[in-house]
Structure 1
């Protein structure tokens, strides 16, 4: 649990762990304020209802406590965190490699592969490797990269233009979000 909002829920003080003498008490069932009362009285009210006294705002003066079922609260928080994690899209980087002597059919196969990656909301790294004397023809590499970017422009946009790194030319294409 690395998110700040979720960490708070595990550090809440409950029942006898609450240190303040006087606390502001809120009824967890209907959200009504019971008022500022001594800790012992709040604990007895919670015990009568068969619920827990949970310190929800320890930094407040006096600290705010809620009468609720702590086990159920923790379960709900864990469920919310799990849902939030599920909705989060982790973008992976997929790589497509070519050479500057690539044939048209092979080029189309690479384009279709990149389109499939972009549909899955993955980032695509396009790499052209230069061998031997091919390094003298970087202009052909840039033309090939432009052609590739144009071919996948309906699904992705170039996030980092073609650039040389040693004997490789790299370009990154990110998926176009629907939002």
Structure 2
């Protein structure tokens, strides 16, 4: 038997702003287009909004008195969502590329992985390089430290060391961040 949600108990998402009759303050600071800014009684502010066939939206409830804007609420919500999307799009996304070594990595493999790391740093991604110790190779910790230090020194022109070699379980890790572009 399938379980169904109880009837009539759907939660309506709460509006982020108080509008019209939901505003509880007695006096409000009124702003908006075609409105003379000032402090008005709540009933007078509602009447001004109604006369323009618009909504009274409380945009700053913590101010004294609260700030209300005369605006079309659905258009206002749309613009707020659009602003949030733009902010999110402008936020820089951090990309981390991983490069794995063994404690006995040969020079050719090292150079090959170094070239990849250089291209990752040029693209603006961070590089997480680690030495993975399998089985009894954990006794060669100093080889791992030397390998990672050599790797970070070889990349000094492209990135800066963000985290020193650190052993976590069977992995010794460093993180390199790209240098800011030169002007």
Q: Normalised by the size of structure 2, how large is the TM-score? A: 0.76
- Deviations for 1:141-177, whole angstroms, at most 9, x for unmatched residues? 3222122112222221111111333443221212223
Alignment-derived partner of residue 29 in structure 1: 33
**C-alpha distance in structure 2 between counterparts of 1:31 and 1:146, whole Å:** 66
1:41 to 35, 41, 44: 44
Supply the RMSD in Å over aligned alpha carbons. 2.5
**C-alpha distance in structure 1 between counterparts of 2:179 and 2:159, whole Å:** 5
CA deviation after TM superposition for structure 1 residue 47, in Å: 1.8
Specify the SS of the correspondent of 1:53: strand
- Deviations for 1:108-156, whole angstroms, at most 9, x for unmatched residues? 2211222233234332221113356644443333222122112222221
CA deviation after TM superposition for structure 1 residue 65, in Å: 1.5
Pair 1:174-2:168 in alignment:
no
**C-alpha distance in structure 2 between counterparts of 1:168 and 1:30, whole Å:** 65
Pair 1:12-2:17 in alignment:
yes
**C-alpha distance in structure 1 between counterparts of 2:25 and 2:111, whole Å:** 70
Alignment-derived partner of residue 92 in structure 1: 95
How is 1:98-137 mapped onto 2 (pairs within 5 angstroms)? 98-131=101-134, 134-137=137-140
Give the aligned length. 168
Alignment-derived partner of residue 161 in structure 2: 158
CA change 1:66–1:132 in 2 (3 A) is closer
**C-alpha distance in structure 2 between counterparts of 1:162 and 1:144, whole Å:** 10
- Deviations for 1:19-52, whole angstroms, at most 9, x for unmatched residues? 23332322x126741x333322222221222221
- Structure that is richer in helix per residue: 1
Q: Normalised by the size of structure 1, how large is the TM-score? A: 0.78
Worse overlay, 73-82 or 56-65:
56-65
Structure 1 stretches lacking a partner, 5+ long? 1-9
Structure 2 stretches lacking a partner, 5+ long? 1-14
CA change 1:148–1:48 in 2 (3 A) is same
Alignment-derived partner of residue 67 in structure 2: 64
Alignment-derived partner of residue 51 in structure 1: 54
Specify the SS of the correspondent of 1:89: coil
CA deviation after TM superposition for structure 1 residue 83, in Å: 0.9
**C-alpha distance in structure 2 between counterparts of 1:60 and 1:133, whole Å:** 65
